[in-house]
Amino acid sequence: MHASSLARLSSVALAAALVVLAAPPAQAAPAEPLAWGPQGTVGSDSSVTVHWNADGNPGTSIVPRDASQVLPFTGGKTYDDVRPQVNEAYAQTFNPESPLGGLSMTVSQTTNLVNQAVTLDVTGLPGFDGVNAAGVYLQVFQCWGAPLDGKPDPAATNPDPRTCQTGVGTDRPIDSPDYRTINRDPLVKTGELADQQVMPFLTAAGVEAGAEEIDAHLNRATTNEIPRLVSSNADGTASRTFEVQTGIEAPDLACGLQPDAPSSQNCWLVAVPIISSVANRFGASNGWPSGLTPSLWAQRMQVRLGFQDVASGCEGGNSRILAAGSELATYAMSSWVPGLCGQAKIATGYTQLSDDQARRQLESGANDFIFTSQAASASTAAIYTPSAVAGTVIGLTIDYRPCGFYDGETVEHCGYPDRATAEAEWAKAGQPITDLRLNARLVAKLLTQTYQVDSPPGTDIGQKAPWAINGMKLELDPEFLALNPQLKYHVPYTRASALTRLETEGLKSDAAARLWAWILGDADGKSFLNGCPDADGITVNPWYSTRSYDGCQADAARLEVAAAAKRDATVTPTGFARDKAASYPPSASAYPQSLFAESTPVGSPDSPESYVGPATMVDLYPSYADQAATARVGFRSQPSRGSWCTNLDGGCFPSRWKPTVDLTATQGTRTTIVVTDSANAARYQLPTATLCDDAGTHCVGATSQSLQKAVDAFGQAAPGAVRTAPAVPDYAGGAYPLTNVVYAAAGTAKLTTTQAAAYAGMLDFITTTGQTPGQQTGQLKPGFAPLTATLSADAAASVAALRSFQPAATTKPAAATAAKPAAVTAGPVVPKTVAPPAASVAAPTTPSPASTAAPVAGGITPITEVGFPQFGLVGGLAAALGAGLFAPVLARRRKALDE
């Protein structure tokens, strides 16, 4: 890693460790319930539509197409000073009177933003003709605003082009400051930047970076820009999701108010239309014009974005509570915590832990208030309050690739019945797939390296298991095609990452446990893990098999001979337990990876300049910090892949395999599938798979309604206890099979009446006001389902029990008036980590068998905590950074299937 990048990484982590959410301004009127589901789109009550000619635009989005628009850094030049042929070309193309009907763009949400996706719906582009021959597209990017004495100006009415994060987009072949070239525009010659080749980048802290310094602030792994938004439809419409970034993901933009740091509540989304025939003259020699060039900046559309504050404390809070636990509650807490402060005057903090670690803390008495989806041990006295309903989901970013469109194959070769069918499929080329169905056995295949095991460049890992070089991908699996006939013409991608595996978290979570319970509760899924073939003879990777052949005992002998032959043909690493079968559900990690093959080292450690160490599948395909990270990776389609890092070129000492961002996918070629949760999928507007029964007759996607239907089938429970999911999902009834209910658990062994009353106040808000769907602070974020009537009744009973709680007579009252912070008993408490693609965070893998340390929610940056962090956070920061930065080194030799 570059030294400046490492320094930035550490500073971001330190700053983020102190970031909290404060009380919001006056509460807005409740938003209407928001629809969300497998399609991935989410609406809002703050969408904004802007037109290129500015008619009807909000005041902050009016960009005049006349002399009243003064162009920055041109010495006072205006729109009218742009070359006439340029302005005429734009007016003829984008005015409402043009044949295209006028260019407009709708941004789906513009207020109360966090790091999330918004949808851009564009009309008035040239229709797609297969190659976009018109050469007309949009450059879309985020800017932090106009500077005031080098700092963000919240009252700015226009962005400053220096403040825009653009010029390094992944649709371009190389990183180069040339993509911010401005000196070919004659208007620059009379302005303040006449001696500059490129538009400098001005950070929110007031640091201006020229051509030589820009790469320290902007890079392809972190940018959110869309360098080339074109229409893929005949009618000239386009719909794309755009990631808005806060000061955590993009500290140089600093969007979202932060205490004691340059930042702004408002930032900007800018879309610059590019007409190649007139704009390319302003670009560098490679022909890529920059939307920051004054003559092109003059053609922009702009939308002001309002961000949720990032600030400290909760002044006037009557209670102070620090809770910890399930990642499934984290995103909800980002809304509830400021709502609790602003509306209920309760100061609250939340630290994300693995579910197991949270329960251990409750059981040991180290923490008496956690959030979990499973009950602690029977000997642990606690009052459980249902608080949130979410689902484990399979998120997908897959661009449709119809046969014949890219490779020139004939209609007959592709199997189209006629040319009309072929052209109908070709018209969908590059569009995101939003209708994909999976069953338990297909998911089991994706989690067990059953499909093609690839050997990344520079390694021979595939040669150690030649039987695994089978060419099989999900899209070629007959079982998959039977479930997805709409994809019969889809051609699999040839990249190593093409639909052979799921990107997963390393955090050991109840969400992962729910997924494994679903697979093991399904007859076909369970028998597959036991070594039984599917209807087409596909069997599990033999190193992931339980070798019991339960479900196909009649063929057990034959199947074992075939599996043993594959195992015998595998060159396993020294010390690998060849005779040990896998067991399920996994007990040591969320989604284990078998280390059955290891690449041969290249060269000698004595010659570090040419040496490459051995790599396992864990090294090459690392996992992520949590499901928020997997959702973001899925949205960006930038998975982590291992690369050899040395002190000579990457700043790694000692040399090691480390996660890096795979930047090979671009719009139209994306292919990433992840395990995440419904809330984070909705946050990033990630389409999700519908899950089917074995017959494929009934398929159910995660929606608010399907989650609630699933909850209705949960088992009975005593007051204050946890309800459990049924063993057999009700697909026919529309119940989503991977539904989770998150409970707040208040341990009663040492609970005081003051603490119990504080918890009751918090939970009363969460389970009533906090169940109103919406995007305002205090409301229930999209991706969660409101509590059902049954769960609401359970919650009311639990809150009442807390309000009336009296400790046993032998219990000595606590002196403190506040709920105590979480303590650490079995390992370091590492707060929630949200892994940005910049770090390509690999979560720590499974602890070694000899280790007794608790699982750690590891990652690199940024480390954040919802609420107030003064309890137990700063002390653990060094450990957290260490866990993230050095996890790939410490974890390389851990056996992920050593159950």
**DSSP per-residue letters across 678-737:** HHHHHHTT--B-EEE-TTSS-EE---HHHHHHHHHTSPP--TTS-----SS--TTTT--T
pLDDT tens-digit map of 271-302? 999 999 999 989 866 568 999 999 999 999 99
293 neighbors 185 (Cβ within 8 angstroms): yes
Region of poorest pLDDT, from 345-354, 543-552, 878-887 = 878-887
- Residue 44 has a CB neighbour count (10 Å cut-off) of 21
* Confidence band of 609 (pLDDT split at 50, 70, 90): confident
Which pLDDT belongs to residue 873?
27
pTM: 0.84
Beta bridge partners of 394: 675
- State the pLDDT at residue 212: 76
Alpha carbon separation from 308 to 22, 24, 136, 522, 797 (Å, rounded): 9, 8, 34, 42, 33
Task: Please report the pLDDT score of residue 855 as a whole number.
Answer: 28
Lowest-pLDDT range of 236-245, 322-331, 868-877: 868-877
What is the predicted pLDDT for the residue at 383? 98
Q: How confident is the model at residue 434 (pLDDT cuts 50, 70, 90)?
A: very high
Which residue reads 């639909």 in tokens?
A: 499
Listing DSSP states for 751-772 in one string gives --HHHHHHHHHHHHHHTTGGGS
Residue 765 pLDDT: 98
In this prediction, residue 163 carries a pLDDT of 94
Mean pLDDT of all residues in 745-770 = 97
pLDDT at 133: 52
- The answer, yes or no, to whether residue 578 has pLDDT greater than 70, is yes
- The pLDDT score that the predictor gives to residue 830 is 29
Rounded CA separation 568/548 (Å)? 18
- 186-190, 263-267, 442-446, 659-663: which has the minimum mean pLDDT? 659-663
pLDDT at 649 over 80: no
Judge contact between 22 and 338, C-beta under 8 A.
yes
CA distance linking residue 358 with residue 571, whole number of Å: 40
Residue 826 binned pLDDT confidence (cut-offs 50, 70, 90): very low
Q: Per residue in 457-497, pLDDT tens? A: 667 887 888 888 788 899 999 999 999 999 999 988 765 55
pLDDT of 220 reads: 81
- Of 215-224, 340-349, 829-838, the one with minimum mean pLDDT is 829-838
Give pLDDT, residue 899.
Answer: 38
Mean residue pLDDT of the chain comes to: 83
> Over pLDDT 70: what percentage of the chain?
81
Residue 417 has what pLDDT?
94
Give the confidence band of 452 by pLDDT, cuts at 50, 70, 90.
confident
Q: If pLDDT is split at 50, 70 and 90, which confidence band does 367 have?
A: very high
Pairwise CA distance, residues 706 & 710, whole Å: 6
Statement: residue 448 has pLDDT above 70: yes
- Neighbour tally for 504: CB within 10 Å: 25
Q: Of the given ranges (24-38, 400-414, 735-749, 760-774), which has the lowest mean pLDDT? A: 24-38
The alpha-helical segments, DSSP class H, found in 569-624 are 617-620
What's the pLDDT tens digit per position in 372-406? 999 999 999 999 999 999 999 999 999 999 998 87
Q: What is the pLDDT of residue 219?
A: 81
Express each pLDDT in 720-729 by its tens digit: 999 999 999 9
The pLDDT tens digits of the residues spanning 862-886 come to 223 443 332 222 222 233 333 333 2
For position 402, what pLDDT does the model report?
Answer: 92
Residue 780 has pLDDT above 60, yes or no: yes
Report yes or no: 244 and 269 within 8 Å, Cβ to Cβ.
yes
Beta bridge partners of 739: 391
Q: Given this model, what pLDDT does residue 474 score?
A: 94
pLDDT confidence of residue 134: 61
Mean per-residue pLDDT, 242-269: 90
3-state secondary structure 353-369: CCHHHHHHHHHHCCCCE
